[in-house]
Structure 1
Amino acid sequence: MAGGSALRDKLVVVIGGSGFVGAHLAQELLSRGARLRLASRHPERAFRIRALANLGQVQFARCDVTDTQSLARVLQGADAVVNLVGAFSGDLDALQGRGAGRVAAQALTAGAGAFVHVSAIGADPESRSGYAHSKGVGEAAVRAAFPGATIVRPSVLFGEDDGFLNLFAGLIARLPALPVFGPKAQLQPLFVDDAAEAIANALADPAHHGGKIYEIGGPEVITMGEINHRIAAAQGRERMFMNVPDTVSGLFAKLTGWLPAAPLSSDQWMMLQAGNVAAGGTKDIAALGVTPRPLSLFLDRWMTRYRTHGRFAGRAPAA
């Protein structure tokens, strides 16, 4: 663990800390002895972190990145700040474009010595994708407001409690045949705990990592088609996967992407086509002191609950 004691007793404020990444980052920071303030619009969603902290080690605060006064209040006294705010819908510029710059500016005003902004691979202010465009605008705003910020662009993150593997796992468990959008699209899945360690290492050494951009991914590049096949194999199921042609996928996304809970929006389709692979392979995450672990290390164990007979699946024929 690089910089294991550098964060001890430091107050780290995590904006957008009540979600998937925030929970895992909180565990990493608490293990290093940091004091945490988890801030979001719904801080109650992070209350489960209390059980992992010592008395007085973690605080919860309500804030809105579109409100300067709200940010100033939660960032008061911060030694270090992480911005995890991200969204696929709503006013993306307000949340992860101008909003990211507002967080960075208030962090500097509060006197924070380290700032890590978590962006995304593909962030580009010139992109036609609303998500990638706002992420690119947000990066520029962060660099302008806090020149010493570290920007981390992770590939798709996976974990036992994620919304990525579990989405496909649930569908594969229920359906005998499934469509696969963008079956040849390449991803570089990164274990969320490895991403958390990389972020914490950047926070711990701003003199070295400040002002830099890191694209971080896992140790292997996998296609969407292969991910589906791996999940089915880990469940012990035989499934029919139907590769959907790109023209059909694009039309499907355009016609249905606006619906609530749509499986594929136009924005997501554009990003899927572009792929999600770190430009430097695993070089950048190694520069942050992390050796990423492969999906295969965890998948069989995590898929146990989706098997027909659970942990006794080996005693019965596959579904």
Structure 2
Amino acid sequence: MEPRTLARAATNGRTITVFGGTGFLGNRIVCHLRNHEFPVRIASRHPDVQLQSVAANIHDERSVANALVGAYGAVNAVSLYRERGGETFHSVHVEAAPLVAAQARRAGVERLVHVSGIGADAASPSHYIRKRGEGERAVLAEFPDAMIVRPAVMFGPDDAFLSTVLKLLRRLPIYPMFGRGRTRLQPAYVEDVAEAVARIMARAETHPTVFEFGGPTPYSYEQLLRAIAHQAGLAPLLIPIPFAIWHALAWACEILPRPPLTRNQVELMRIDSVSSPEMPGFAELGISPQSIEEILQRMLANRG
């Protein structure tokens, strides 16, 4: 049998329900699962019959249960990076995530992948990171065999990270840094993370594992800015700005309906986000992660 035929035989009929399947990471996960020959069902608030999707609200038990009927596996790629009204870090990561896990267990789902984030810690002083950690605990309490995936900050052609930094570097000859630019980051390419999730679903091992996915290179924030600027042919003057000033600016911004900066985002920039060498990651899945320089070169080339 050809490898492709073997993959099809192994995955045919094993439907995977992807919650958050229309998001930045989720839609890539859908594509990579399909590349591995999995039938995919996208659970979305706004279903599209052409995309084999079903209506689902992760806060609603019945709609979640309906989305999981007959599924072999499930991926919860729903995330929230900025609180808005009733959509809070607690409601999404601590309440809705275990609801998905509980319904997956009741539906007889064999494999659940829960997407969290590097550094998730229920004891963290950061509200966001603390809720991520509490969410992991709650998911495992409902589905003890769940696989936890913790990506570092992700980048890609239509992201909110690399594209934003590049845009600001082009507009600002003097670039204000968070603090002294010493926070450590290890950005991961979104396609690599999506492929990793697909391989977790396809692999034979089923024991619960926490994976951490960071890119090939850890940077300080200042080093990362300089690497991005260099690829784009820019030479900005990087100026350190104390975190106290950023906090005050974010507090003022939060008065706006769609604040460009929040205190939570500022707090996250004080915390290192790098994968632990003690945790399984891309290497265990046979993936060589692509660097931010490689992807940025392609992005710049495609823009002409």
Instruction: Give the corresponding residue for 1:198.
Output: 196
Q: 1:220 to 1:74 in 2, by over 3 A?
A: same
Q: Which residue of 2 aligns with 1:73?
A: 66
1:223 to 220, 228, 231: 220
**Following TM superposition, where does structure 1 have runs of at least 4 consecutive aligned residues deviating by more than 6 angstroms?**
none
Change (3 A) 1:236 1:256: same
2:28 to 13, 24, 28: 24
Sort the Cα spacing of 1:228 and 1:262 in 2 relative to 1 into closer, same or farther, 3 A.
farther
CA offset digits 1:180-210 (Å, max 9, x no partner): 21421111111111111111111123x6253
Distance 1:210 1:27 in 2: 25
- Helix, strand or coil for the counterpart of 2:277? coil
SS of the equivalent of 2:25 reads: helix
- Aligned 8 A contact 1:217 1:281 in 2: no
Report the more deviating stretch, 166-175 or 95-104: 166-175
- One-letter amino acid of the structure 2 residue matched with residue 61 of structure 1: V
TM-score (normalised: structure 2): 0.89
Equivalent position to 1:189, from 187, 198, 223: 187
Deviates most, 71-80 or 270-279: 270-279
Give the structure 2 partner of residue 302 of structure 1: 299
1:303 Cα deviation after fit: 2.6
Per the alignment, residue 175 of structure 2 pairs with 178
Q: Which moved more, 1:4-13 or 1:134-143?
A: 4-13
**CA deviation digits over 1:153-198, x for unaligned, max 9?**
1101111221110111122222332212142111111111111111
Q: Are 1:272 and 2:297 an aligned pair? A: no
Which one-letter code corresponds to 1:25 in the other structure? I
Distance change >3 Å, CA 127–CA 42, structure 1 → 2:
farther
Deviation at 1:257, TM superposition (A): 4.3
Match of 1:105 in 2: 102
SS in 2 for 1:208: coil
Selected match of 1:64 from 46, 57, 63:
57
Corresponding residue SS for 2:104:
helix
State the secondary structure of the residue aligned to 1:298.
Answer: helix
Q: How does 1:1-319 map to 2 (within 5 A)?
A: 4-5=7-8, 6-43=10-47, 58-88=51-81, 89=83, 90-182=87-179, 183-205=181-203, 208-257=205-254, 259-280=256-277, 283-304=280-301, 311=304
- The normalised TM-score by structure 1 is 0.85
SS at match of 1:179: strand
Q: Distance in 2 between matches of 1:215 and 1:4?
A: 25
SS of 1:274's partner is coil
1:141–1:109: structure 2 CA closer, same or farther, 3 Å change rule?
same
* Matches of 2:177 and 2:300, distance apart in 1: 19
What SS does the corresponding residue of 2:75 show, helix, strand or coil? strand
The CA RMSD measured in Å over matched residues stands at 2.3
Once structures 1 and 2 are overlaid, which stretch shifts more, 278-287 or 103-112? 278-287
**Residues 126 and 268 of structure 2 are in contact (CA less than 8 Å); yes or no, is this contact kept in structure 1?**
yes
Q: Sort the Cα spacing of 1:209 and 1:194 in 2 relative to 1 into closer, same or farther, 3 A.
A: farther
Deviates further, 169-178 or 143-152: 169-178
| Equivalent position amino acid for 1:241 in 2 | L
Among the aligned pairs, what percent are the same residue? Answer: 35
Per-residue Cα deviation, 1:68-126 (whole angstroms, up to 9, x for no partner): 00101111111110001110213222211111100011111111111000001121222
Deviations 1:128-177 (A, max 9, x none): 32221221121111111111110011101111221110111122222332
Report how many aligned residue pairs link the two structures.
295
How far did residue 232 of structure 1 move? 2.2
CA drift at 1:294: 1.4
Structure 1: where are the runs of 5+ without partners?
A: 51-57, 312-319
C-alpha displacement at 1:279, in angstroms?
Answer: 1.6
In structure 2, the gaps of 5 or more residues are none
Query: How many angstroms does 1:4 deviate by?
Result: 4.6
